[in-house]
Each structure stands twice: as C-alpha cells, then as structure tokens.
Amino acid sequence: MGMSSFWAVGALAAEDIAELARRAAPAIAAAAARPSAVAAWGRWERDAARGGGAVPVWRPDGCNTEEALRLYDMVNDSAFDAMDSNHELHVMEWWDRFDPGIEPYIASVRKDNPVAALFHGLGPARAAALPGWAGDVVLTSDEVRRLLPAVEGALAVTGAERARVLARIDDWPGDKEPEELLDGPLRAWRNAAGAGAGLLAARIWF
C-alpha cells in the first residue's frame, strides 16, 4: 500500500505552542539553514527562471523532469519527518491538540507532496514569503498576527495570476484539489490570527 503525504495547518493554544516550539523550532531552523537546502532553493530559483516562472514538470515520455524532481526532493525534506523517524516527536499527536473551535486545514496526497504542488504553483518568490521551511513552522500568536500580511501576499492571488497558479498546482503529480490547496492554508492562518492562537504547520509521510 502506498504512503500519503499529509500537510496540516492549525491553531494551538499558547502553552502547547511554547512546548512545541522548544522541541521543534530549532530543527526547522536548522533544516532551512543547511548549505544543501540553501543551494537547493537557489537552484529552484534558476530552474524556475528558465521556465518562465515555474519548472517544467513533464518530459515528452510522460516522466518527470529533472527540475521537477529536484524541487520535489527539496520540499520533501521535512524536519517533522526526521523527528518522527528518530522518535523525537510524533507530529500527529500535536494535530490532535488543534483547537476544536478553530477550523484547521489538512491535505493529503497519495505518493506525492502537497507542499511541493503548492510551491510549484506559487513559484520561488511567493513561496519565500512563507515562514519556516517546506511547509513546517511553529509560531506564537504574536508571530501569527505579525506574519499574516506576508502570508496573504503570498497566497491571496487573484485574476490571471491565480489562474496560472492553480493550473501549475493541477499540473503537479498527485491527486489534489488546487483551489483548496491554495486557499485552505490561508483560511486556517486567518482563523488562528483572528482567535489570537498560535499556529502549527507540519508536513509528514504516513
């Protein structure tokens, strides 16, 4: 049976965020700062620039391009996956702590990565405005409110640009809903900000 990649964005209470940040925030920061990660992001920027804003996804023979595989490998490098594999932290236990009164966003894609699809749709410049690394972030309520304008700038695309972003998400491998993948994370972020809650975004294979 094939595995699925899950991505969740949800609200957590202050005491939960404080505990989780102590355990997970250094790992996320370290993942983003690794020389290999910095180099991979720069390579994506160059690949996307050559492709007119996004990497080509498909070869004529129906297989994925090298550019798409490099983007997938970069975005698939999750701090929460590593902590789960090392039995340091099981992120789904934290998803159980999401505030039941604040609707989260949860996506799953079989044999592929929803964050990779979103990043492909957004392109490097917009994806760079999202905090954390590759869909992983832990933020206090103050940070959620402070960073909300940047997240809105990245995700609240309209008009012809929105159509291009959705078409790119749809072109990426995996069974997903492009509009929900673009709109759902921002909706969950706004919900957390409006409620004065902290926020956890985490991607993991299961």
pLDDT tens sequence across 72-93: 999 998 999 889 888 899 999 9
Mean pLDDT of the chain, nearest integer: 95
Residue type, 47: D
Contact 79, 30 (CB under 8 A): yes
Residue 50 CB contacts under 8 Å (≥ 6 apart), including other chains: none
d(CA 37, CA 141): 28
Q: What pLDDT score was predicted for residue 111? A: 86
d(CA 139, CA 142): 8
- Given a cut of 60, is residue 1 above it in pLDDT? no
Q: What pLDDT score was predicted for residue 87? A: 87
**Residues 141-171: b if buried by 16+ CB within 10 A, e if exposed:** bebbeebbeebeebbebeeeeeeebbebbeb
d(CA 104, CA 98): 7
pLDDT tens sequence across 97-121: 999 999 999 999 988 999 999 999 9
- Given a cut of 80, is residue 29 above it in pLDDT? yes
| Mean pLDDT, range 125-136, rounded to an integer | 96
Contact 166, 104 (CB under 8 A): no
Residue type, 164: R
pLDDT tens sequence across 43-64: 999 999 999 999 999 999 999 9
pLDDT tens sequence across 156-179: 999 999 999 999 999 999 999 999
